[in-house]
Amino acid sequence: MASSGGIALLKKDRIISFHGINLNELVLHIPHAKRLGLRFIEKRGDNLVIEMPYSPELEVIPDTGLMANGAITAFLDTALGAAVSDQFEVFRRIATLDLRVDYFDKPRPHSAVRVKTRCLKVTDQIVFVQGDAYCEDESVPIAHAVAAFSHTELLLPGKDAPETKSDVGQIS
Amino acid sequence: MILDFLKSLKDKPAFDQSLEISPYAAMMGFRFVRRDDQLTTEMKYHGDLVGSPFPPALHGGTVASLLEMAAILQLAWDIDMARLPKAIDITIDYLRSGKPEDTFARATVFRQGRRFATLHAAAWQSEPEKPIATAMLHFQLVD
């Protein structure tokens, strides 16, 4: 098994579960991801494919069929977070340190958007990831994102969890 | 439509407007506020903005979206334009975890050229001197 700083890393293609939920799907159970309607499509080697279905609620301007850039940004943030979680054998607490999104083109009207992620590097504290958003054709991205996430041990409430000083970063 | 909405507000010295004209902005709970001659975009806290139930924290993507909305509204407010500017890119620095409470954002046009504009934006919660995220954004003004 691969390891980084003594932390067990997940093998490619393997999907493991946490309380009956696939690890790479777990991030999709968070309230905002649910609100965006995100769904896990597949894991191909180290790549995750996640979809945000078209919804009129996500239009900035009604009746255009175009989902908001903001929704696509939040989707990319979540998808990259899922890719980070997917790197580890055990669920870890992750936070986005920074995120850069390039908008190449508008999404296709009334079309679902998919993101395919790729993990670039895992260090003992950081995971570097990127992802492409596309509509129908994977080879024609509409947006590209790159991010750095921190990862730390997940401490559940109770006596095991010491008072932690809040650090840089935000939850995805 | 959004440009007309902004135009209708221009002469009002103070306002606190919901953005119900936009389905996405309404879903996010965005409000556009002018107070003491400063423009602020607000994101009213609600459960759908949460990214982590324990400890409760806002989803970082919602803060990114708020920064982007603040920037586009500021740009459209400052510059007379026929169409909404097109986003080119956004770079977000996440500085602090977002608490489950209202979030505020303000953007400034850092540089405006003929075709492009660069904006800086910051988001904060109860303590304005402690931003939870900042962003740099580029927009294309004309096609």
Rounded to the nearest 10 degrees, how much is the dihedral formed by the CA atoms of A71, A73, A79, A83?
Answer: -170
When CB atoms are compared, the residue of B61, B66, B89 closest to A172 is B61
When CB atoms are compared, the residue of B1, B21, B60 closest to A172 is B60
How many residues does the structure list for chain B? Answer: 143
Q: Looking at the complex, does the CB of residue B121 fall below 8 Å from at least one CB of chain A?
A: no
Residue-wise pLDDT for B40-96, tens only, equals 999 999 999 999 877 889 999 999 999 999 999 999 999 988 888 999 999 999 999
Q: CA-to-CA distance for A9 and B67, rounded, in angstroms?
A: 34
pTM for the whole structure: 0.92
Mean pLDDT of chain A: 87
How is A41-58 classified by DSSP, letter by letter? EEEETTEEEEEE---GGG
- Enumerate the residues of chain A whose CB falls inside 8 A of the CB of residue B43: none
CB pairs under 8 A between A and B: 139
Q: Looking at domain B2-140, what is its CATH homologous superfamily? A: Hotdog Thioesterase (3.10.129.10)
Q: CA-to-CA distance for A130 and A147, rounded, in angstroms?
A: 6
When CB atoms are compared, the residue of B48, B95, B98 closest to A168 is B95
Q: Where are the domains positioned within chain B?
A: 2-140
Q: Looking at the complex, does the CB of residue B96 fall below 8 Å from at least one CB of chain A?
A: yes
- Enumerate the residues of chain B whose CB falls inside 8 A of the CB of residue A69: 68, 87
Task: Outline where chain A has alpha helix (H).
Answer: 23-26, 31-35, 69-85
Q: CA-to-CA distance for B43 and B125, rounded, in angstroms?
A: 10
Q: Looking at the complex, does the CB of residue B143 fall below 8 Å from at least one CB of chain A?
A: no
Domains in chain A, CATH or no CATH each = 3-153 (3.10.129.10)
Residue-wise pLDDT for A100-123, tens only, equals 999 999 999 999 999 999 999 999
CB environment B111-132: b (16+ within 10 A), e (fewer): eeeeeebbbbbbbbbeeeeebb
DSSP code at position A29:
G
- Enumerate the residues of chain B whose CB falls inside 8 A of the CB of residue A78: 59, 61
pLDDT given for residue B128 in this prediction: 92
Q: Looking at the complex, does the CB of residue B50 fall below 8 Å from at least one CB of chain A?
A: yes
- Enumerate the residues of chain B whose CB falls inside 8 A of the CB of residue A61: 1-2, 22
Residue-wise pLDDT for B86-137, tens only, equals 999 999 999 999 999 999 999 999 999 999 999 999 999 999 999 999 999 9
